[in-house]
Every structure is written in C-alpha cells, then in structure tokens.
Structure 1
Amino acid sequence: MKPIAFAKSNWRVLLLTLFLSLSLVFLFYPGGVMAGETYVGNETEDQSLHNLEFGLGLDGGTKISAPVVGMTVEEIEVDVDDPDEFEQRGPEIQQTMSDELDLETGDALVRTDYESRQMSAEVFTDNVTEAEFAAALQEAGLDVTEDDVRQGVTRDTRDDIETTIQSRINEAGLSGSRVSQAEMDGTFYIVTEAPDMTDDELRALLEDRGVVEIVMHYPDGEGGQQNETALVQSDFGTIGTASYNTERDYHYVPVAVNPGSAEEYQNMMVENSFTQNPQSCSYGDPSREGQNYCLLTVVDGEVVEAHSVAPRLADNMERGEWAASGNFQMITSTQEEAQALSVNLRAGELRAPLDFSAAQTLTVSPALAEQFKNYSLLIGILSVLTVSGVVYLRYGDRRVALPMIVTALSEVVILLGIAALLRMPLDLSHVAGFIAVVGTGVDDLIIIADEVLDEGDVNSRRVFESRFRKAFWIIGAAAATTIIAMSPLAILSLGDLRGFAIITILGVLIGVLITRPAYGDILRRLLTDK
C-alpha cells in the first residue's frame, strides 16, 4: 500500500500516535516545553524525571481560605452628564473618604462607570463602622445611608487580589500553587493553595500588603526631621532580582524609575539638598536629629532600610544626568528582605488585606501526601489490571481485548501530557477523574466491540463500518450527556469537584475525538479481510 493511501486509510490511528508522542514529550522533555517561563526561585526546585506538578493532596502544603477586609457601597447614582466631570468626581470622593475617615494610602477606592452613571465606593479597613462610612460618603455629596453599606468588597477588587497573589506565588517560584475564590454562607473567600509551604510561611506571603515607597527623610529647618514620599510602586519600571554586593556587603534590588517619575524624583533630590549632603544618614540617632538626609525604603508603612545618597549618584543628579537612565539600588538589611521586596515590586500591592482572624486553614504534611501519591499509583495499577482481566475473560480474543486496554491507557497518557503542558497541579480529585476516565473509556470500547461482533464474525469492511457507526452514535450521545452533566461542576468554584469534572470532560472529549475512532480502525484491520 502506498504511503498516501495508507495514511488516508489509517489516519485515526496516526492521529492517536501523534497525540501520544506529543504527550510523552510534554511529560518527559527535560524542564518541560514551557521551560522558558521560569520564575524567581525555580533554580532551587527539585529536578524530576517527569514534568507533572502536584497539588496539596499529593505534595503536602497549606491551603488558607480568608475573606477580604472591607466594606462596600455599590450602584451609587451620580447625576452628572459630562463624562470628564463624572470621572473627576471619583478621585474627589475618594480623597474626601480618606480625609473624613483618616485612612492610610490605598485604603479607600472609588470605581466609576459613566455608561450607567453609577459608582462604587470601598474602604479596606476594619477600624471604620458602617455608619461612619455612610457619613463620609454623605460628606462627599452622595445620597447614601447606613443600610446601603455591606460587608465585603466588590468582585473587581477580589479579582485584583487573586491576580496579585498568583503573581506573588509565581515570582516566589512556588510551582503547583493555586489561587481561587469561593463563597460560603454569603461571604467571599480568597483560597490560596501552596504545596511545600507551612502555615506560617504562606501567611507571611499573604499578610504583607506589599505597599512599597521611597520616602525622603530630611531636616525641616526647625531642628527636626520631616518625611516626604518620593516614589511609589507605579513609578518603577524595570525591577531586578534580589542581589548582593560582595565588595561593600549589602543586599539590594536593582530598579529603574519610569522617565517622567525619574525627572521629578531628581528635581526633588536637588531641591531638598540631598545631592549636597551625600553620606549624611544616621537614621534613628537622636544626636543627629535635624541633620539627617536619608532615603527610607518603606514597606506597608514600616521602614525596612535607611541609607544615604551615594556621592556618585548625588553628582549625576546634581548635573541632571541621572534621570536619563533612572537606575538605582533599593538597599535592604537581609537577603530575605531583598527577595520579599523584589516580589512585592513585581507582583504589586494587594488591593485590600485579608482577614486572617476568620481564615480557615488546611495543612497536609509531606509524609501524608507521599502516602496519598503512592496509594493513588497503586489504585491506578490495580484498576488497569482488573479491567484488563475482565475484558479478556469477556472476549477471550487478544485481537479485541489487547487494543482495548492499550487504547484506554492512551487516554490517560494524553491527559497526563495535557496536565504537564498546562502545569496543572494534580490533586486527589484529578486522580479520581483519571480512574473515572479509564472506567467510562473501557465501557465505550466494550460497546464498540459488542456492536461490531453482535451478529458474529465480520469480514467485510462495509459491514464493519456500518456496525461501528451505530456504536459510535451510542457512545457519542453518552459523551454529550456526561459533558452536559459535568459542565456546571467544571465552571463553578466547588473545590475538589471542579478538578474531577475537568479531567472527566477532557477524558470524554479525547475519547470521542481521538481514541475511540482509532480503536475502530485497529479492530477493522484485525477483524476484516478486505
């Protein structure tokens, strides 16, 4: 048979072979085909023979579910027709809220929607009552009462927090981690799963708001010191990784300030005499009160490092040359602080803090997770052996039984390849999905075999294809029913049920589109003469 004719006649088997080959590459190619997408910290990750990632149940670690601190008033009607005036009202109301409630930077937020002529207002603190919140909005000229205030934050804010936490996890190199949202008893929770992390380690990652500022600390002219914020997170463009200067013995994060902000920062440094007073910082020394020129690195309102302006940097700023590059170093006391600073700058600040007093925590020890992993492998092997034995006893014909088992296992290999490609953290729910895929897959293959052999041996290709089409309609209808039934579980945030549903749906699709047709081609070649 010519190659083209052979390929045309057996394209379904060739398609299965292609998917199997790609899956094996995804599973075992060193570093994975997505190796270029590495995160800070991945260089310390254990090397494995495969590219699968495991979740909490199979790798150990911690899951924390915590609500977001805050109060919200939504659908505030604002009778302003001019779009520019409408947009300006947002920052004005936000500033009034901050002033009236004495809030920290970032603890008040107003979102505007000109199309609906509505706004939403939020505060991210537990030190304000609902009545005080409503009164602040009334002071801003809005028709709001205490009854309009609800506990919790908006969906947009929760989405921002979810994205930021996921970015922090990625920057920290925590493979297999997952961030999602869940609703319990009317309260929305941010759910964070992190394999290989203890409760304390994960809390430390989540508790920091991550608000980073560079503050100027300089003489006020009256014998004291004053602080002035010079740079905030949005001013930084390029952000390097945590580094160490061996010659001068300090830890730092190299950064580059955006052009416009760099020019403004340079002018502030000159105007406030920092460039004329390099090496003039003794932060916290009472005897130097009124004489310090310090640059403070402030994270979440706490000073993590204070340092002087280097003479070379001062000279460049004095000549107006520094702003062209905007490069400088944010110095910290330890490598851990430098690493945390780099992660915070890259991932951004949490829009609102999490309420750990109402958090729910689940911790799985690595030893227990290893047992789960071993038991899952054992159950998988036993299920394959059991199914193989039953199928062989049912048909007593290796031409029917052996391809059936190989085809069913092919679905599992392809699913594992997809999981490795997508970096899907496999958990116990996914293992249950794999077992379900093997069971339903063999059921469908048995339907095909029974339908084809129902009226005795078949030696005509035309008769075989007629019977196969009839069987395929049956398994196609069953697959559609399974997908429809599982879809709500795959879409909704229902914890472990979601992983089970996703694997089951993927397995059914792979079976109907790839493995079942390939099994039909294999049977046709083995059972027909022409």
Structure 2
Amino acid sequence: MNGKELMKLVKDWRVAALLILIVLSVVAIYPHFDDKGNLTSNLQYGLDLQNGAWLQMEFQAEVVGFTTDQPVSDFISNLSKKLDTEVLLVETSDPTHLEIRKYYSREDLEQIFAGEGGKVTSYQKGVSKNTGELVKKILENKLNSLGTKDTKINILAGMGNVAQYVRVEMAGVDMNQAKELVGKQGKFEIRIQTVGNQTEHVLYGDAISSVGNPEKDIQRSGVWGVPFTLNEAGATALQQAAIKYGLTTNPEDHYLIMILDNKTVFNAPMVADAAAKLKTSTNRQWSASTGTGSAGENAAQTLNIHLRAGALPVETKIVGSGSVPAEQGAKNKMVSLIAAILALITVGIVIYYRYREPSIVLPMVLINASEVIILLGFISAIKFQIDLPTIAGLIAVVGTGIDQMVVITDEILHEGRVPSQNLYLKRLARALMIIVIAAATVVIAMVPLMLMPLTTLQGFAMITILGVLVGVIVTRPAYGKIIMEILSK
C-alpha cells in the first residue's frame, strides 16, 4: 500500500476515530519515567497488584418490620428511649419498617416491642440503603481527607436492600494502619466570631451527642438544615460564649464557624430568635441551615458528614480482613503482564495457522492490542483501580475481539475469494449484525454482575461490557475498512 492509499485509509472516519481514541488513551495513561528512572503511569492498582489491606465490617444494627396500635411517632419515641439508641423509619411514605441503630436479637426486640404496644413482623440484621450510603460517604470523606485516595468502599446488601456489610480496600496501607484510619475520628470544633476575623473556641465534636438526617423546613420556604443535639456541657458552653461575645444581641456580626481538621465546613449567623433565647436558657437542640433547592440539599448532606467528624451512625464489627505484601503485589503485576502478552501471542499464532497470511494476522493482532490500550486509557481517565478481575476482563476482551474479527474475515472471504465492492459491503453489514447480536448477549449477561454488590466481579463485568461496546462502535468498523483495503490487493 503506497503513501497515497495509506493517507486515504487514515482519513476514513472509522479508522480516524480508532487512531484518535488510541492517542487520547495513551495521553490518559501517560507512561513516563519518574525521578528514580522507573517507568510509571497514571494507572492506579488495587490490592492485588500492590501492597495494601482490606477490612469487611458488619453493621451492628437491624431493620425491623412492625405493627402497632399506638401513634407511630409516639411509638418510635418511646422505643428509642427504651432501647437507648436512634430508631428511624426506613421509609416515611411506608411506615412499616424501622432501623434500630444498635444490635438486639429478635427475641429481645419482640419483648420490648410488646411492652410498648407493638409487634415485630420481620427482622433482618443490617441498616437501610440510605444509612449504608451515608456510611460510605463518611468513610470516603474521612479517608480522602487523610490523603488515602487509593481506596475502594463498597456496601454489601442482602435481601430487601438491607445493607449488612461495608468493605474497605486501601492500597499502600498495612493492616494496623488500615484499622486506625477506619476507626479514627476527625477533630471537629465550633468557634464564634468575636471582632473582625478573630474567633474564639466554643466546643469540640465530643459535645455533639447526636446528628440527625438532613431535613427541609417547610415553614421557612423549604430551607434545608441538619439537626444536631448538644450534651449539657456543650449547650452551656455555647450559651456562655454567645452572651460573652454579644451573639445574643447582634447575631449578624458574630457568625458561628464549624471547623473539621482545620478546614471551615460551615460559616453562618445564628437565627435571631434562637440567639435571643440564649440570654435566659440553654438549648440542646439545634439545626444548621444550608439553603434552599438542590444546592441546599447537597450542602446539608455534606455538613451531615462533617458534623459526625468521621463517626459512623452505627457501630461496626470487623468480621474479615486481609492484606497483600508488596512483594506479592509486584509478583501479581508481573504475572498479569506476562499473561496478557502471552494471550496476544497465542491469539496471533492461532490466527496465522488458520489464514496463513501475515497481512490478515497483523491487523487483527494490532487492533486487538489497540482495544486493550483504549480500555486502559478509560480506566486511567476515571481513576478506576486495576485488580486481577479487571485484568481477567481485559484478557477476555482479547478473546472476544479476535472471535468477532474472525467472523468478519470469514464472512468476507466466503467461498475463498475476495468479493466485489457491493457484495463486500453486504457481507460486512451481515457480519457486523452478527457481532452486534452477540455483543448484546454479553452485555445482558454482564450487567447483573456489575450491579450486584460483589466487589470482586464488578471490575471484570465493567471491562467486559466496555470492551464489547468499544469493539462494536469503533474497532470492528475500522477493522472492516482496513481488511477491505488489504484484501483488495
């Protein structure tokens, strides 16, 4: 193929799209040498491929179905006092299930419910889906603020969307450090503005006895806020500071400032009515307003996490743990690389044995390798950690990719000769239709694996689906065009 024909081929939109994706992927991967002269890239590796630790923790709480002849709000309030913990409705629109944020056996709960005028209809250990997501956000916020960014946190749910476990994977962290990071609370402080930009300490996070879920105040034009409760010492400290620095008479000039690990997370004046009441009495029940609309709701969700200072809403118990030494991670990385290279070589040998024509084999192998580069570029762009299941997905993509290109080649070379242009296009269209149907089958099979809370399979399913889509949309049409030009010679 001369230069003019090659340029014409490159300008074809299918081939051009493939080349552009390859270039963008290489930029995203960014292979380069570090200060020590070692080859590195933007790819992030999970526990399987570097040292790290994982913890699996069980929620010490339960979701209980119930009936009662008492007013639901009174029943929940009495139950909360009796159980000495938070008791919440799982769904306010369907008040039939409660989340009890402390572990009790079903037998104990049945006795307590009966004493309060209720009955247990179902029992499942764990927390609601919303609480599970809150736990995930709290852990992500805490671990990221501590500089541990190579983390994966997954909530493992059972029947009825009841979250039973949380699994935390931390690359580059040993087991002792992992336990310390997960169990550590941040330093939370409330300060009061005195004169200008000067502030004075009021209380620390240990003065906050409980934090409620974000809620919208209908009476205040839908303002979002986060309710929280101070203990007696905290309420007294806030009242004394408010009186001392003039907040009770002029709240607009004396903002309350909330700080988590030396970072301001809330800064606003106190409502005038609430400030005036502090002149004569303490107040333990407060709500930090964050605004209206979706922005106010998002700010309330974030502040809810900050107020907890990294403390989870329910206790957890470590039921599983493990670690990967650095030497094992490096060995796994090398073995995976060798396996990928051997897969490509083996595929090339088998294809050559079938066609005995290098001009057919070479484009197949190169396009197969380009799919892997494109997938690695996508992984790097979204900061997804590569683990052994992900590598298994990449190798699976190599196999399915070759299968599909064999379908195209065999369809075109039907009866052993190159067809005319019109017949070629018809056969290519027929081959692509077969590939699309096969790809749809793979996607349908992989979607449940990707959505199920089985963390070890999600990477495999995601890469397999993405590989199929890249093949159908980009690389198969490009291969069809390239092989047409080669076979026409």
TM-score in same-fold range (> 0.5): yes
What secondary structure is seen at the aligned counterpart in 1 of 2:415?
coil
**1:240 match:** none
8 Å CA contact 1:198, 1:363 repeated in 2: yes
Could you tell me whether the CA contact under 8 Å between 2:57 and 2:316 is conserved in 1? yes
Q: Which runs of structure 2 are paired with 1:214-229 in the superposition (5 Å)?
A: 229=207
Alignment-derived partner of residue 62 in structure 1: 53
Residue 144 of structure 2: aligned partner:
170
Q: Equivalences for 1:142-153 in 2 at 5 Å?
A: 142-145=117-120, 148-153=122-127
**Hey, what's the Cα distance between the residues in 1 that align with 2:90 and 2:227?**
26
AA of the residue aligned to 2:178: L
Q: Which residue of 1 aligns with 2:311?
A: 349
Cα separation, partners in 2 of 1:8 and 1:351, compared to 1, 3 Å: same
User: CA–CA distance in 2 between the matches of 1:516 and 1:165?
Assistant: 42
Describe how 1:458-497 pairs up with structure 2 within 5 A: 458=418, 460-497=420-457
- Residue of 168, 173, 192 corresponding to 1:192: 168
Q: State how 1:491-530 maps to structure 2 within 5 Å.
A: 491-528=451-488
Considering only aligned residues, what root-mean-square deviation do their CA atoms show, in Å? Answer: 4.2
The answer as to 2:82 corresponding to 1:100 is yes
Q: Which amino acid aligns with 1:100?
A: K
Select 1:389's aligned residue among 349, 368, 371: 349
CA distance in 1, matches of 2:260, 2:185: 18
**Is 1:121 aligned to 2:98, yes or no?**
yes
Q: Is 1:412 matched up with 2:387? A: no
Task: Please report how far the alpha carbon of residue 163 of structure 1 lies from its aligned counterpart in structure 2 after TM superposition.
Answer: 2.8
Deviations 1:440-464 (A, max 9, x none): 1112112212221232332632222
Amino acid at match of 2:150: G
| Matching of residue 457 in structure 1 with residue 434 in structure 2 | no
CA-CA distance at 1:404 after TM superposition:
1.0
**Displacement of 1:260 after TM fit?**
11
Residue of structure 2 in register with 1:16 after alignment: 18
What secondary structure sits across from 1:144 in the alignment?
strand
Q: Could you tell me how far apart the structure 1 residues matched to 2:314 and 2:227 are?
A: 28
Alignment deviations for residues 300-337 of structure 1 (CA, whole Å, 9 cap, x no partner)? xxxxxxxxxxxxxx6576985785443476799xxxxx
CA contact (8 A) 2:186 2:261 kept: no
The AA in structure 1 aligned to 2:97 is S
CA contact (8 A) 2:129 2:163 kept: no
Relative to structure 1, the CA distance from residue 229 to residue 318 in structure 2 (aligned partners, 3 Å threshold; closer, same or farther) is same
Name the count of aligned residue pairs.
410
Instruction: Find the aligned partners of 2:92 and 2:242 in 1 and give their Cα distance.
Output: 46
What are structure 2's unaligned runs of at least 5 residues? 33-37, 192-204, 215-224, 263-304
Q: Say which SS state the counterpart of residue 424 (structure 2) adopts.
A: helix
From 23, 28, 31, the counterpart of 2:30: 28
Q: Choose from 304, 312, 326 the match for 2:256.
A: 326
Distance change (3 Å), C-alpha of 1:328 and 1:517 = closer
Paired with 2:186 and 2:227, the residues of 1 have a C-alpha distance of: 23
Give the stretch that moved more between structures: 16-25 or 184-193. 184-193
Cα distance change on mapping 1:468 and 1:268 into 2, 3 Å: closer
Taking structure 1 as reference, are residues 429 and 270 closer, same or farther at Cα in structure 2, changes over 3 Å only?
closer
Residues 270 and 317 of structure 1 are in contact (CA less than 8 Å); yes or no, is this contact kept in structure 2?
no
CA distance in 2, matches of 1:328, 1:164: 17
- Please tell me the residue identity of whatever aligns with 1:188: Q
* Contact 2:55–2:167 (Cα < 8 Å) also in 1: yes
User: With structure 2 as the length reference, what TM-score do the two structures score?
Assistant: 0.71
* Worse overlay, 204-213 or 413-422: 204-213
User: Aligned partner of 1:56: which letter?
Assistant: L
Q: Aligned letter for 1:175?
A: K
Contact 1:212–1:232, Cα closer than 8 Å, also in 2:
no
Kindly state the Cα deviation for residue 259 of structure 1 after the two structures are TM-superposed: 12
Letter in 2 for 1:496: T
Conservation of the 8 A alpha-carbon contact between 1:211 and 1:349:
no
Inter-CA distance 175–59: structure 2 relative to 1 (3 Å threshold)? farther
Letter of the 2:133 counterpart: D
Sort the Cα spacing of 1:203 and 1:379 in 2 relative to 1 into closer, same or farther, 3 A.
same
Paired position in structure 2 for 1:34: none
Per-residue displacement from partner, 1:264-301 (whole Å, max 9, x unpaired)?
Answer: x9x9779855589xxxxxxxxxxxxxxxxxxxxxxxxx
Q: Work out whether 1:422 is the aligned partner of 2:382.
A: yes
What's the CA shift for 1:179? Answer: 1.5
1:360 equivalent in alignment to 2:320 = yes
Query: Using the alignment, how far apart are the partners of 1:11 and 1:383 within structure 2?
Result: 30
Aligned to 2:399: 439
Contact 2:66 2:118 in 1 (8 A): no
Residues 1:353 and 1:436: Cα distance change in structure 2 (over 3 Å)? same
Aligned-partner Cα distance in 1 for 2:433–2:340: 29
- Work out whether 1:206 is the aligned partner of 2:188: no
Q: Which amino acid aligns with 1:375?
A: V
Distance 1:419 1:329, change over 3 A: closer
Amino acid at match of 2:315: P
User: Displacement, 1:198?
Assistant: 1.8
Q: Secondary structure, in 3 states, of the residue corresponding to 2:316?
A: coil
Contact 2:211 2:227 in 1 (8 A): no
Deviations 1:80-118 (A, max 9, x none): 7xxxxxxxx54x5454334323x3xxx3131264533x1
2:89 pairs with one of 83, 86, 111? 111
1:7 and 1:111, CA in 2 relative to 1: closer, same or farther beyond 3 A? farther
In 2, the alpha carbon distance for the partners of 1:324 and 1:479 equals 63
Distance between the aligned counterparts of 2:75 and 2:183, measured in 1?
28
CA drift of 1:496 comes to 2.0
Aligned equivalents of 2:57, 2:146: Cα separation in 1:
20
Identity of matched residues, %: 27
Whole-Å separation in 2 of the counterparts to 1:363 and 1:472: 45
For 2:250 and 2:165, locate their aligned partners in 1 and report how far apart those are by CA, in whole Å: 49
Matched, 1:52 2:43: yes
| In structure 2, C-alpha distance between the alignment counterparts of 1:234 and 1:150, rounded to whole Å | 23
